[in-house]
């Protein structure tokens, strides 16, 4: 186990030391490809093409992926077992203000049982756990009956182009396991989300006679209140017990507000941008309709004459769900409890993942379960507990053996 941990630390450090932000994934994918070749897997390296870009689910802000390859490794089973996709994204969000980091964000430094760096928990640590599990099975000489498909995908942080491309490439399985940082909780459901942009129009005037104008900012306050009311309405209606510990199951977040050009002028336009959560099982179009109705129903004469403009832009994530008693959920639960001696927590995901694409477009039931914590993902000084990464690897070994079956 100590040797496996040492190898795992070294591998994760190499991954973290690659700055794999959008458009810069080639080097870390080369390392993944190298690792899969060492595992004697059949490796497929490919660039998302027209079949992906022209798909209805495509939503990226770019169409050139020449420096952003997907890497897929296939371990062909002997037959008679269930297949499993191991899907992990290799892209990371930017580090932000580097002065907020104690160490360089791409250092991979190890301190007090933690490995630090951008992507350590979201989600290169989970990817490393999966690779360690595959290496363990190979070292033990275990032959699985079902196929294992390891997918190292790009662009999850901005809408899922990599996973969509893998689906269009023809990769499908009886189920998928995604090692996002759930703190070893099981997420059989994941919300979707969409980005929106709302433009509110006013009428400009001199600040000294502001009563002659109409402040777009003041009208925006009415729109924001309508959004808050909609969020409350949508969430009160959610009674799913998997959401009982989550204060706001599917939030509507306003993340950006801009408007006005001069302190002494009445602002004639304000633009707000945000993210709308989509309930598992809900169609994106239904969520859009509810937003549009809430905005259009604001009781204000000016807004009735000059309606706000709403656009849906940028990234989006499809919601997804499988039954709480799905066979893979049962296997994960049992193996976790056998190995740790503790009861596993089953919840709904508070954020979107590529699981929605795998399930809704790829018809592959998807479960999210992995090491790391969302409370440090996207934050300065991101880290993963090495002990938890190794625990995940151990559990993945048993999941693969039971789900895929093996020759004794």
- Residues facing 272 on adjacent strands: 198, 257
- The first and second tokens of residue 72, run together, are 């897929």
Q: Are 157 and 67 in contact (CB under 8 A)?
A: no
- The active-site residue out of 35, 44, 156, 321 is 156
| 231 given a catalytic annotation | no
Where on the phi/psi map is residue 314: left (φ > 0), alpha (ψ -120 to 50), or beta?
left
| 268 given a catalytic annotation | no
CB within 8 Å of 369: residues ≥ 6 apart: 177, 178, 179, 182, 184, 185, 186, 187, 332
Q: Are 247 and 232 in contact (CB under 8 A)?
A: no
User: What would the DSSP string read from start to end of 273-290?
Assistant: EEEEEE-TT--HHHHHHH
Where on the phi/psi map is residue 23: left (φ > 0), alpha (ψ -120 to 50), or beta?
left
Q: Which residues of 173-207 are buried (b: 16+ CB within 10 A; e: fewer)?
A: bbbbbbbbbbebbbbbbbbbbbbbebebbbebbee
User: What would the DSSP string read from start to end of 319-381?
Assistant: -EE--TT-HHHHHHHHHHHHHHSSPPPEEEESS--THHHHHHTT---EEE--SS-TTTTTSTT
- The active-site residue out of 91, 147, 155, 354 is 91
- The first and second tokens of residue 216, run together, are 């777009």
Residues recognised as catalytic: 91, 156
């Amino acid at each position: 186990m100590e040797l496996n941990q040492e190898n795992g630390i070294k591998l994760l450090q190499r991954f973290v030391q690659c700055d794999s932000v959008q458009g810069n994934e080639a080097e870390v994918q080369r390392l993944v490809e190298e690792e899969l070749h060492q595992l004697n897997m059949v490796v497929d390296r490919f660039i998302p093409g027209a079949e992906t870009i022209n798909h209805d689910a495509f939503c990226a802000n770019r169409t050139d992926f020449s420096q952003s390859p997907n890497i897929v490794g296939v371990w062909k089973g002997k037959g008679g077992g269930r297949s499993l996709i191991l899907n992990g994204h290799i892209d990371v969000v930017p580090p932000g203000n580097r002065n907020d980091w104690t160490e360089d964000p791409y250092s991979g430094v190890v301190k007090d049982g933690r490995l630090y760096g951008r992507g350590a928990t979201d989600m290169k640590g989970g990817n490393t756990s999966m690779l360690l599990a595959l290496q363990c099975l190979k070292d033990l000489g275990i032959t699985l009956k079902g196929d294992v498909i390891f997918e190292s995908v790009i662009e999850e942080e901005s809408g899922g182009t990599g996973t969509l491309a893998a689906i269009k490439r023809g990769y499908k399985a009886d189920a998928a396991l995604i090692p996002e940082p759930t703190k070893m909780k099981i997420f059989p459901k994941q919300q979707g989300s969409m980005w929106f942009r709302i433009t509110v129009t006013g009428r400009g005037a001199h600040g000294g006679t502001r009563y002659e104008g109409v402040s777009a900012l003041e009208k925006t306050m009415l729109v924001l209140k309508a959004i808050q009311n909609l969020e409350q309405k949508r969430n009160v209606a959610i009674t799913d017990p998997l959401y009982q510990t989550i204060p706001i199951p599917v939030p509507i977040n306003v993340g950006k507000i801009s408007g006005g050009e001069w302190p002494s002028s009445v602002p004639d336009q304000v633009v707000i941008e945000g993210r709308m959560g989509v309930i598992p099982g809900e169609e994106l179009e239904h969520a859009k309709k509810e937003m549009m109705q809430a905005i259009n129903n604001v009781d204000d004469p000016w807004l009735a004459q000059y309606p706000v403009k709403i656009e849906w832009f940028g990234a989006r994530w499809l919601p997804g769900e499988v039954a709480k008693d799905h066979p893979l959920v049962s296997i994960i639960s049992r193996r976790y409890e056998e190995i740790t001696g503790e009861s596993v927590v089953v919840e709904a995901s508070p954020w979107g993942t590529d699981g929605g694409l795998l399930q809704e477009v790829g018809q592959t039931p998807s479960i999210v379960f992995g090491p790391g914590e969302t409370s440090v993902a996207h934050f300065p000084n991101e880290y993963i507990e090495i002990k938890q990464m190794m625990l995940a690897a151990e559990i993945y070994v048993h999941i693969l053996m039971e789900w895929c079956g093996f020759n004794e």
